[in-house]
Amino acid sequence: MDFREATDRLMGCGVTLPMIAKAAGVSENSIARARTSSGQRRSPPKGWHRVVSALALEVSHVRDSEAAILRSIAVELGDA
């Protein structure tokens, strides 16, 4: 799973761009640029697998309806 797919799946479960940016310790603009497919694309933040996985697990405890999807992100990224 790449950064775009992982963040798409998180955002589909109600996780926002600001939440991802805060968890990664970077700006919202950095996350947005890492997600884009245009020439303005940047690399995802270092350690993004761990950050996205942890965020997915954290949010899964709060949002029961999306819990299975969120846990599957963590499993596919190898942190569960």
pLDDT tens-digit series, residues 36-47: 877 777 889 999
Contact between 21 and 27 under an 8 Å Cβ cutoff? The reply is yes
| Total domains present in the chain | 1
Q: What is the per-residue pLDDT for 71? A: 77
Domain that holds residue 64: 3-76
At 6 the pLDDT is 92
Confidence (pLDDT) at 51: 92
Q: Is 25 exposed, middle or buried (0-12, 13-18, 19+ CB in 10 A)?
A: exposed
Percent of the chain residues topping a pLDDT of 70 = 90
Q: What would the mean pLDDT of 10-24 be, rounded to a whole number?
A: 91
Q: What is the mean pLDDT of the chain?
A: 85
* Reported pTM: 0.73
Phi, psi (deg, nearest 5) at residue 51: -65, -50
- Whether residue 20 contacts residue 3, with contact meaning beta carbons closer than 8 Å, is answered with no
